């Protein structure tokens, strides 16, 4: 996900957002999702779908993915991110360390990192540790 070269790095620093276009083989369409958003979180930006219309002879907007898949996407991406933050299931991290890693990886601010930490707790991605207050480990 890193843009290469001097121009790529400059574009990434100056851009308001970075979009990723992928072909969705299940629906025979292309999806556009946000990778980086300057003021906000990429997980809050809906995924847009475009597909080829043979009558019109061009790509057309098919709409946004549903709300259920939006929640599922947020859950799946935060679960994957939690697995990357916690190197193993036995690792215990302080809440400030988790927030800092979320801020670094997603390029978000402190408030949004706290919201994601709460989302991960509420949806049993991570759980409070017996080690002490404000310490968490990965759920089973």
CA 128 and chain centroid, separation: 22
The answer, yes or no, to whether residue 128 has pLDDT greater than 70, is yes
| Domains: count for the chain | 2
Same domain, 26 and 60: yes
- 11 & 59 share domain: yes
54 shares its domain with 96: no
Residue 25: what pLDDT?
76
What pLDDT, on a 0 to 100 scale, did the predictor assign at position 66?
Answer: 66
Higher pLDDT, residue 23 or 3? 23
Is the pLDDT at 1 greater than 60, yes or no? no
Q: Which residues contact 76 (CB under 8 A, 6 or more apart)?
A: none
Q: What is the pLDDT of residues 89-125, one digit of tens each?
A: 778 899 999 999 988 888 788 888 899 999 999 999 9
* Residue 18 lies in domain: 5-65
- Predicted pLDDT of residue 69: 67
Q: Is the pTM for the entire model greater than 0.85?
A: no
Burial (0-12, 13-18, 19+ Cβ within 10 Å), 85: buried
**What is the model's pLDDT at position 41?**
77
Residues 59 and 95 in one domain: no
Q: Quote the CA–CA distance of 128 and 140 in Å, as a whole number.
A: 12
Long-range Cβ contacts of 56-62 (<8 Å, 24+ apart): 59/30, 62/29
DSSP category for residue 41 = -
Assess contact for 92 and 76: CB atoms under 8 A: no
Which of 65, 90, 115 delimits the end of a domain? 65
Using a 10 angstrom Cβ sphere, with 0-12 exposed, 13-18 middle and 19 or more buried, the burial of residue 100 is middle
Taking Cα atoms as reference points, which of 27, 49, 44, 29 lies closest to residue 106? 44
- pLDDT over 80 (residue 13): no
Contact 112, 44 (CB under 8 A): no
Res 14 pLDDT > 80: no
Do 108 and 133 fall into the same domain? yes
Question: Which of 24, 39, 65 corresponds to the end of one domain?
Answer: 65
Q: What is the pLDDT of residues 25-70, one digit of tens each?
A: 777 889 888 888 877 778 778 889 999 888 999 989 988 876 556 7
Residue for token digits 């402190």?
110
């Amino acid at each position: 996900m890193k843009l290469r070269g001097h121009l790529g790095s400059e574009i990434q620093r100056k851009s308001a957002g970075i979009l990723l276009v992928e072909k969705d083989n299940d629906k025979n369409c292309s999806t556009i999702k946000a990778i980086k958003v300057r003021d906000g979180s990429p997980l809050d930006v809906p995924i847009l779908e475009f597909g080829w219309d043979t009558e019109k002879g061009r790509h057309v907007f098919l709409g946004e993915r549903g709300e259920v898949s939006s929640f599922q996407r947020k859950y799946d991406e935060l679960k994957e991110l939690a697995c990357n933050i916690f190197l193993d299931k036995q690792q215990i991290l302080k809440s400030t360390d988790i927030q800092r890693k979320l801020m670094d990886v997603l390029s978000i601010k402190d408030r949004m990192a706290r919201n994601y930490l709460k989302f991960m707790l509420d949806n049993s991605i991570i759980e409070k540790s017996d080690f002490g207050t404000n310490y968490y480990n990965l759920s089973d």
